[in-house]
Structure formats: structure tokens, C-alpha cells
A and B are shown apart, each in its own frame.
Chain A
């Protein structure tokens, strides 16, 4: 599976550049590109993108998860309540939150494949049920995640920054790994006499990637260092990338989304794979929930509102098909970056919330429209 740069990818990069250029010029005192804001933007992006990468897992086999936003609130709330009201040790409280999510999403996955209820309905129900449970759990109040203003593992999720030196070391290590794996991939291409990239092009790609990586480290080091959520996103995105590209499980996700009947006849354990995808989504929802709650400093009733739609929007902008069978992790990250930049920039410009909603909606429609057009012209 080689991916070719299409006109669509190009348009996406252009759109991102245009959005960034617009906010750079519009926001006073170059506020948009200040180290502080870029660092904050990075955390926003990491949280949105983590959920969106999870959403990819359920969109690929042709399902959807509308309950993710409520789930984010619920899981953050459960862990917060366990810490603040019941005095649980923080790691145990967080693990409990993850376990609850795992069970809930596994149950939803089972309902979808065994009772043949569409995911849209199950997760729409889940969205309401989880919202209700969430408010019950926190009793409609604000529950802090730390006791007595101390920092703990929970709050560190979004307040820990990797020290500058460690950041550079990490970037160097990643560059080395990329180089080695690229060299090995090229060797394989030559072995099979496949039309792989020539050495100049692969050097360029590597060089660009390394440059971006170091630029990222330098920028974040201007503020406090690489924020922890960025690293959490990095590891989750990498795992999902491996899953979708290099495991039978991932292949099956594409196959089910492409043609479920053919997938069954091909001997793919469709039920297991679908339940697996939802269970993983549950874990990712839990991680997002912990990060989002930590980012707010406390669990409040509005946490997670509409996050599922942002995640779906990021996926669609990134080229994921809502019918299933098409999409990639890289595309989703890009989509999430566009969403995060838009939201962050609008906040800096002090755009009213009502207008923000409208802008988000329009961007989503625009993305789908562009996608449809590019698909039609490709035929």
C-alpha cells in the first residue's frame, strides 16, 4: 500500500498554511505564533487528535462513535471523584477510569455486532446515558482533580513538560529510528524490484521530517519543553499506525469497511474485529478524558461537550470515509491540526462562541464537499 500525494493532500496543506497565515497576521503582537500559544495549541491539538485517531478505528469498519464526547466527561469525572471524594491513589483512580471505559465500549461493540443495532443508534444512546451518568457521578458540581492544590499524576498529564535536553535527545533518537527503518524499507523495495522512492527523494522526505521534528522541539523548548499530551498522542498515533498498516487486524478494518459481506466470506472474524475496534476506542476515550479533565483542572459538567463531532470532523477533513474502508492516521492528524488551529486562533481573536460553532460547522461541510468533488473527478 503506497500512498501517493494527491491534489487533495496538497489542498489540505495549503488550507493549513492559509489558516496559520491568517491568524498570524490577524492576532495582535504575533500572538498566534508566540511560543506560549504554540505550546497551548499543541496541547489542544494533542487532545483533539488523540480522540480523532480513536475515531478512525471505528470509522474504518464503517461505524461511528457519537458517545465519545460524553465518555470523555464521564471517565474524567469518575477518576476525579475517586481521587477527590474517596481519596483513592491517583494511579488506581485513573486505571479504574480506563477499565470502566474498556467495559462500556466493549459492551457497545457487542450490542452492535450481536444484536445488529446500528452503531449510530447505540452510541447516540450511549451519548445520552453517559452524559447522565457523568452528571450523577459528579453530582452536577465541580470536582477538582487534586487535593489541596498539590500536583499529582492526574494533573501532571497536561502540566508536565519534557525538559529541553530530553526533548532534543528524543528528537535525535526518533530521527535515527526513522532513518534506519527508511533504509530497510528501501532495501526491500530494491530486493523486490519495486518502484520505490529513489535515494534522493527518500533523503528529502527524511530530511523534511527530521527538520519538522527539530523545529517542533525548538519551538516547544522556547516555552517549557515538549508537553506530555504531545508525547501521549505521539505514542497512540504510532500504535494505531502500526495497527492499521502492519497487522491483519488493521487490514480487516479496511476490508470490513470496504465490503462487509466479502469480508465475512473471506473468513474475517468480523465480530471480533469490530468489538476489538470499539474496545480500543474505549481506552482512547478514557485517555482523552483524563487529559481533557486535567487540562481544565477539574471535572465540570461541560467537559467533553461536542468533542465527538470535532473528532469526526478531524477524520473527515483528513480524508476518512464515513462509509468506511478509507483513511489514514496521518490524514487524521492533519485534520485535527486544522481543527485545533482554527479553534485556537478564533479564541485568540475573542470570537464569540456562537460564531465559533458556525465556523466549525461550515469547515466540516466544506471538507466533505471538497472530498466528494475530488472523488468524482478521480473517477
Chain B
């Protein structure tokens, strides 16, 4: 079959680095083609180049669509050629309805004329057509719903629908499931299979190999800016893909070793906690009780919206109102206090959304690292000491950057996550909350974070690990707590935890 899209000998240079080196890639009609590689391997650069963000002339090599050379000067050019990108960061306007978003920038007018001057928007038609296009995908979304009311998964679907309405023939999905819970992932994958039936070709970028193997027809692995290999999914396996990605064999993906130093001392104890959402006044968490010993990793799982992040953020003093319950941290009662106080008492949080809650993106690595540990606001900064501690963390976490002065916004996801972790560790916590610490980061950096968790528990610290990836949860936790709609759905020891059991606890009533 002739490829619908192909790239030959693509080389893209940035000042000082070669981001892509002689990359070739082809996409067949009606194919789902996964693009795998560690962060910094060049996936994003390739996507930006295919979609016209890096215009023709800013790179060497040739792009062809339907065997004809194309020269995209802008995203609009790529769009006209039938190519759409669904980004990791959602591009919907929150204050608008679903239908308004689907038609954004392409509103039909009553007079039938194009252009925004001299004609009024045909609202009934927008809602009618939005309904039709949504129904085509068998999803339950109200076209009149405000986008703010939708979950992340539904938003993702709206974006895909928006792209397909424009008759896109090539869909590029950049980490589409990063923010989705398991069942939402399944819905998305079903839709992609449906699209494949209709002859729409997909480029699918994901760090989650389970998904890639579940859906992709072929897999292309990028490493250090070069296309290493293209494999047929049917004739390969995860180990081979990972080997190509990292250039070495990884035998143990989850190197959790029980510290053996688990003491009987409680680090954190939560008893009958009830929390309401401070904005809506609705009860959000019901009767949560659990305990965490020193040197232990407690995994918390559950579907999106089950209350995992809310639970962490509440204990950290950043979310909700406590209506009942008692929390004990290191033997002292912990009332609901602002984060500054909670950090002071020995608890640290690494948020799931590092760009929003974790980093001051325009500032340097050093600025961000020391932010939680500068001491009293009335004092002066001992810049000498600050520099020494920052350097120590910078080196021990192996943050890949020229030096401490580099802007954090320019780092890759894995390195940004290391900065957030470093900042949390510098506040010298006894208990550390990690909310999706490996989301959107590459295999190498994931391993380093798992190793770090092991080191922390060796030092007698306690870790709460929230994750949507069940293998990670099972692999890295000593005990696992599943949440379901704000309640505890089940607690499992490491030995008895299987993906099926955890999923059951997340979906149905507790036994």
C-alpha cells in the first residue's frame, strides 16, 4: 500500500544541537502507527515538523503526502492537507460549550457566506451538526454542555471530534492518555480502532507500552534524534521495543525493594476523614482511613475523579474543607493548615501537574530547587549555602542541564520532574506524597524516580504514591489502597494485588 504520509532524510538543527538526524518515517492509510522513544528522543520535534509548526525550509529532508512533496509554511497549511494534531495540553476554551468549541474558528453563518463580517452565526445549525458528529462516535456528550463540566477524557474526545469534523485524514495524538483513567483509555482506543476502519491514519505517541501494543499496527522507535527501527507490532514484544528505546536491556521495570527497615512507628494516620469541596459544598471524600509506617510505600489508585488527587491535596492543606476525621502526622495531630505550615511539619507534595503546581517556569533550576527551603521570610538568603545545597541535589538527582542557571521551562519533562522532586526533598520531609510522579516522562527517568523512592524508604521516610498505571502501582507499593468515588474501594498487600483485583475494587462496591 502506498503511504499516505512519508518523511525522508529529515534533519532538524537547533542552535547547538541536532534534534533530528536523517529520520525517515512513513504512515499507511488506515494504520495506527506508534512513535516511541524517551523524552528528548525527538518525537515532539518530528510532530511539530509534520504539522507545520516548524515551517518548510527550517529543516532538511522531504515530506510527502499522497506521494506528492508538500511544503507546509504553517499549521493552517498542514490542516488543509488533512492533518490534525491533538496535543497533550488541551486546546479547548473552557468557558464555551462543546458545540462552540467544535466549531471554533469555523462558525457557519446564516447567510452562508464565509468570514466573520456581515453575517450572523447560525446557532441552531451548530448544535444540530455537533449532535450529529458526536453521535457518529457513539459517545455520550451533550453538545450544549460547558467544557468546564467535562472530565479530561471527555475533553480529549471533543478535541478529536473537532479535528475529524474538518475531514482530517491524518490524526496525530501526542500522549493522549496521559491524563486519562483506565476506562477512559479504553473508550479512546475503541474510537481509534473505529477510525482505523474508516481509513483514517493515526500517529500515536505514548509512553505507555501496554496501550501501544493494544492498538498500534506498527511501531517506530526514535532514539537520540534518529529513527532506530520500525517494527510490526505482531512480530515484536515490549522488551524489544524498550531495548531499542534505551539502547540497553531493562530487566526489571519496577525495582522496588522493601526496605526491611519498616519500623512500627506510624508516619501518617488518617481516621474517618470526611472532606467537602469548598467551592460546591458537596461531600467529596467519605470515611477515609489508612495508616502509613515509616519506610513504607502506600500506593493509591482509582479512576479519574475517584478523589486521589483531592485526598493528597487536602492532607497537604490545599484543597477542600474537613467536615470530620483526624489526621496524625509523626505522632502529632495535623489539623487543616495552609501548605506552608504542613511543609514545616514534615510533609511534602509533588503534584501531578508539575507545570501548573510545581514550577515557576521562567525562573532557573536553582530558583525552583530552593523555593520551599529558604527559611523565614524576614531573613536574608545565604547564597553560598543555597548554591551548595542546590548543587548537591542537582548532581545527586542527575538533572540534565548545563547548570543551575538554566531556565526550568526549557527542560524535558523528566528533568522538570526531578527539579520538583528536589524542591520537595530539600524541605526535609518525613512523609512524601508523589502524585503521578512518572506521568509523561521517559523510561530512563522513570527508573531513576523508582530508585529514588527506594532510597527514601531506606532512609526511613514514608511515601504515598498515586498512580493511574496499575503495573507501576503494583510494582512499587508495599500496600495499595484503591479509591472509588471518594470512598475506599479496597486495600491490598503487595502479594495479593493483581491488576484484575485492583480494577474490580476501583469499579465496584468494596467486598
- Which residues of the other chain, B, contact A263 by a CB distance below 8 angstroms? 360, 371
Min CB distance A262 to B, Å, is 5
Quick check: is B47 within 8 A (CB to CB) of the other chain?
no
Quick check: is B361 within 8 A (CB to CB) of the other chain?
yes
CB-CB nearest in chain B for A192: B387
B367 to A249, Cβ gap below 8 A? Answer: no
Min CB distance A76 to B, Å, is 30
Q: A246-B380, A246-B383, A248-B374 are in contact. Are A267 and B363 (CB under 8 A)?
A: no
A255 to B377, Cβ gap below 8 A? Answer: no
B374 to A251, Cβ gap below 8 A? Answer: yes
Range of interface residues on chain B?
Answer: 35 or more
- Which residues of the other chain, A, contact B371 by a CB distance below 8 angstroms? 251, 255, 263, 266, 268
Quick check: is B14 within 8 A (CB to CB) of the other chain?
no
Quick check: is A199 within 8 A (CB to CB) of the other chain?
no
- Which residues of the other chain, A, contact B387 by a CB distance below 8 angstroms? 192
B339 to A265, Cβ gap below 8 A? Answer: yes
Q: How far is the CA of A263 from the CA of B338 in the complex (A)?
A: 12
A1 to B364, Cβ gap below 8 A? Answer: yes
**B 308-345 to A, binary, CB cutoff 8 A, 1 in contact else 0:** 00000000101000000000000000000011101110
Q: How far is the CA of A160 from the CA of B381 in the complex (A)?
A: 36
Q: Interface stretch among B351-359, B481-489, B490-498?
A: B351-359
Min CB distance A107 to B, Å, is 20
Q: How far is the CA of A262 from the CA of B352 in the complex (A)?
A: 12
- Which residues of the other chain, B, contact A161 by a CB distance below 8 angstroms? none
Quick check: is A272 within 8 A (CB to CB) of the other chain?
yes
- Which residues of the other chain, B, contact A272 by a CB distance below 8 angstroms? 377
Quick check: is B372 within 8 A (CB to CB) of the other chain?
yes
- Which residues of the other chain, B, contact A242 by a CB distance below 8 angstroms? 380
Q: Out of A1, A254, A267, which one reaches B427, CB within 8 Å? A: A267
Q: How far is the CA of A72 from the CA of B358 in the complex (A)?
A: 39
Quick check: is B163 within 8 A (CB to CB) of the other chain?
no
Q: A247-B379, A255-B371 are in contact. Are A269 and B360 (CB under 8 A)?
A: no
Quick check: is B138 within 8 A (CB to CB) of the other chain?
no
Q: A251-B367, A254-B363, A254-B367 are in contact. Are A262 and B357 (CB under 8 A)?
A: yes
Min CB distance B358 to A, Å, is 6
CB-CB nearest in chain B for A188: B384
Quick check: is A334 within 8 A (CB to CB) of the other chain?
no
Q: How far is the CA of A267 from the CA of B342 in the complex (A)?
A: 8
Q: How far is the CA of A266 from the CA of B367 in the complex (A)?
A: 12
- Which residues of the other chain, A, contact B361 by a CB distance below 8 angstroms? 258-259
Please give the number of chain A residues whose Cβ is less than 8 angstroms from any Cβ of chain B in the complex: 29
- A234-260: which residues lie under 8 A (CB-CB) from chain B? 242, 246-249, 251-252, 254-255, 258-259
B340 to A265, Cβ gap below 8 A? Answer: no
Q: Out of A249, A251, A264, which one reaches B318, CB within 8 Å? A: A264
Quick check: is B293 within 8 A (CB to CB) of the other chain?
no
Quick check: is B376 within 8 A (CB to CB) of the other chain?
yes
- Which residues of the other chain, B, contact A325 by a CB distance below 8 angstroms? 360, 362-363
Which of A192, A249, A266, A272 counts the most B-chain CB atoms under 10 A from its CB?
A266
B363 to A248, Cβ gap below 8 A? Answer: no
A266 to B423, Cβ gap below 8 A? Answer: yes
- Which residues of the other chain, A, contact B383 by a CB distance below 8 angstroms? 188, 246
Q: A247-B377, A248-B376, A249-B378 are in contact. Are A255 and B340 (CB under 8 A)?
A: no
A267 to B344, Cβ gap below 8 A? Answer: yes
- Which residues of the other chain, B, contact A246 by a CB distance below 8 angstroms? 380-381, 383
A264 to B376, Cβ gap below 8 A? Answer: no
Q: A248-B376, A249-B378, A252-B377 are in contact. Are A267 and B360 (CB under 8 A)?
A: no
**A 136-149 to B, binary, CB cutoff 8 A, 1 in contact else 0:** 00000000000000
Q: How far is the CA of A246 from the CA of B377 in the complex (A)?
A: 11
Quick check: is A261 within 8 A (CB to CB) of the other chain?
yes
- A90-119: which residues lie under 8 A (CB-CB) from chain B? none
**A 269-288 to B, binary, CB cutoff 8 A, 1 in contact else 0:** 10011001000000000000
Q: A249-B378, A267-B427 are in contact. Are A261 and B360 (CB under 8 A)?
A: no
Quick check: is B431 within 8 A (CB to CB) of the other chain?
no
A267 to B339, Cβ gap below 8 A? Answer: yes
- Which residues of the other chain, A, contact B423 by a CB distance below 8 angstroms? 266
Quick check: is A326 within 8 A (CB to CB) of the other chain?
yes
Q: A267-B339, A267-B372, A267-B427 are in contact. Are A258 and B362 (CB under 8 A)?
A: yes
Quick check: is A2 within 8 A (CB to CB) of the other chain?
yes
A247 to B380, Cβ gap below 8 A? Answer: yes
Q: How far is the CA of A82 from the CA of B342 in the complex (A)?
A: 48
B381 to A267, Cβ gap below 8 A? Answer: no
Quick check: is B405 within 8 A (CB to CB) of the other chain?
yes
Quick check: is B349 within 8 A (CB to CB) of the other chain?
yes
CB-CB nearest in chain B for A272: B377
Which of B362, B364, B375 counts the most A-chain CB atoms under 10 A from its CB?
B362
Min CB distance B371 to A, Å, is 5
Q: How far is the CA of A188 from the CA of B362 in the complex (A)?
A: 25
- A345-368: which residues lie under 8 A (CB-CB) from chain B? none
- B378-402: which residues lie under 8 A (CB-CB) from chain A? 378-381, 383-384, 387, 391
Q: A267-B343, A267-B344 are in contact. Are A261 and B380 (CB under 8 A)?
A: no
Q: How far is the CA of A35 from the CA of B308 in the complex (A)?
A: 70
Q: Out of B318, B340, B351, B356, which one reaches A269, CB within 8 Å? A: B340
- Which residues of the other chain, A, contact B367 by a CB distance below 8 angstroms? 1, 251, 254-255
Q: How far is the CA of A188 from the CA of B384 in the complex (A)?
A: 8
A2 to B405, Cβ gap below 8 A? Answer: yes
B339 to A261, Cβ gap below 8 A? Answer: no
Q: How far is the CA of A264 from the CA of B338 in the complex (A)?
A: 8
Q: How far is the CA of A267 from the CA of B374 in the complex (A)?
A: 10
B357 to A265, Cβ gap below 8 A? Answer: yes
CB-CB nearest in chain B for A273: B377
- Which residues of the other chain, B, contact A267 by a CB distance below 8 angstroms? 339-340, 342-344, 372, 427
Q: Which residues of B contact A (CB under 8 A)?
A: 316, 318, 338-340, 342-344, 349, 351, 356-364, 367, 371-372, 374-381, 383-384, 387, 391, 405, 423, 427
A-B contact pairs, 23 of them (CB 8 A): A1-B367, A2-B405, A188-B384, A247-B380, A248-B379, A248-B381, A254-B360, A259-B356, A261-B356, A261-B357, A262-B357, A263-B360, A264-B339, A265-B339, A265-B349, A267-B340, A267-B427, A269-B340, A269-B377, A276-B377, A325-B362, A325-B363, A326-B362
Q: With A252-B374, A266-B423 given, can you name 15 additional A-B contacts, CB distance below 8 Å? A: A192-B391, A247-B379, A248-B379, A248-B381, A249-B378, A252-B377, A254-B363, A255-B363, A258-B363, A259-B356, A259-B359, A265-B339, A266-B372, A267-B343, A276-B377
A-B CB proximity, top 5 nearest: A258-B360, A248-B374, A267-B343, A267-B340, A265-B357
